[in-house]
Amino acid sequence: MLIPRKYHPHITAAVLLILSLVIISYSASKFTEAGFLRKVFIEIASPVTNIVNISAKGLTDFWERYLLLVKIEEENKKLREEKTALNQQLNTYREGYYESIRLRKLLELKNVLSYKFQAARVVDNKSNALFKTILIDKGTADGLQVGYPVLSAEGVVGKIMESSWHYSHVLLLIDKNSNIDAVVQRNRAHGILQGAGISHYNLKYISHSENIVPGDTVLSSGMAGLFPKGLILGTINTAYRQEHELFQKIDVTPSVDFSKLEEVLVLLPDKENNK
């Protein structure tokens, strides 16, 4: 039976609608219930996908932490450099402070004594086997000569033993070749102070009758004319009276720490002071 031509469009539309409903129904059934093979695939693929996702996230987190550590390390390096610079600056200020204290003590000594002085820096403090000496940065061009006394704020250092134009060697008072006329401050007992090594002197020619006790201060007597009177030399450490000996055996601790000398004053004698 033939269908009239005028109904053909309606029939075609109806057929297409029915096919669409069938496809949609089939698709819906596919999403609601997976087949056996699909289930197997999901079971296998899902853990792998999860591992890949976790690995990717872990890699991202690791990279972010690495970048953070690099940044922190750069900041730490910068802070360390700033700390080093600040410590160096602080040390420079501290050195300047301590130097100003030492120079102020030398200035006080210079003001007390009515002598002319030449300030000098110690540039070498390594004594040789023959002599206990230091090297200072002033010489004949600065008015220094052999025999001139050398002082520090703590007391007598020694005397110049040789000079060039801009440098001088100072023979220290602890050298065995050094001697200075001395007096015990408390009882005015006179003797000769002689160097006896790195850390002490010997005070000689003090008779048995003199009362010498540890702690007594020893000063320069000024009698030889080289060193001014009243400069500190040291402190009595021990004093022994030995039988059948004319003089006591007296050990003196120096007032000057010769290993730490950095600045000194060289006394410049003149005719007025030598009268």
pLDDT of residue 273: 46
Last residue of a domain, one of 97, 112, 127: 112
Question: CA 185, CA 223: separation in Å to the nearest integer?
Answer: 15
Question: CA 255, CA 235: separation in Å to the nearest integer?
Answer: 7
Rounded (5°) CA angle 45-46-49: 85
Name, in order, each residue with C-beta under 8 angstroms of 228's C-beta and a sequence gap of 6 or more.
113, 115, 149, 220, 222, 267
Q: Do 142 and 208 reside in the same domain of the chain?
A: no
Q: How many domains does the chain have?
A: 3
Using CA of residue 268, residue 271, residue 273, residue 275, what is the dihedral sign?
positive
Q: What is the pLDDT of residues 124-166, one digit of tens each?
A: 987 766 788 999 999 999 999 999 999 988 889 999 999 999 9
Q: Do 97 and 214 reside in the same domain of the chain?
A: no
Q: Do 183 and 235 reside in the same domain of the chain?
A: yes
CA 230 vs CA 99, 145, 169, 244: distances in Å: 26, 23, 25, 33
Nearest to 186 by CA among 235, 252, 242: 235
Does residue 10 form part of some domain? no
Q: Do 204 and 145 reside in the same domain of the chain?
A: no
Last residue of a domain, one of 84, 112, 140: 112
Q: Do 261 and 192 reside in the same domain of the chain?
A: no
Does residue 220 form part of some domain? yes
Q: Do 147 and 161 reside in the same domain of the chain?
A: yes
Q: Do 197 and 230 reside in the same domain of the chain?
A: yes
Does residue 238 form part of some domain? yes
CATH number at residue 146: 2.40.10.340
Does residue 135 form part of some domain? yes
Q: Do 263 and 250 reside in the same domain of the chain?
A: no
Q: Do 124 and 244 reside in the same domain of the chain?
A: no
Phi, psi of 79 (to 5 degrees): -65, -40
Q: Do 51 and 181 reside in the same domain of the chain?
A: no
Which uninterrupted H or E stretch holds 266? strand 263-268
pLDDT of residue 64: 76
pLDDT of residue 47: 57
pLDDT of residue 215: 95
pLDDT of residue 274: 46
CATH number at residue 246: 2.40.10.350
Tell me which residue range forms the domain holding 71.
41-112
Q: Do 226 and 121 reside in the same domain of the chain?
A: no
Judge contact between 169 and 161, C-beta under 8 A.
yes
Q: Do 49 and 73 reside in the same domain of the chain?
A: yes
In the predicted model, residues of the chain with pLDDT beneath 50 are 28, 31-32, 271-275
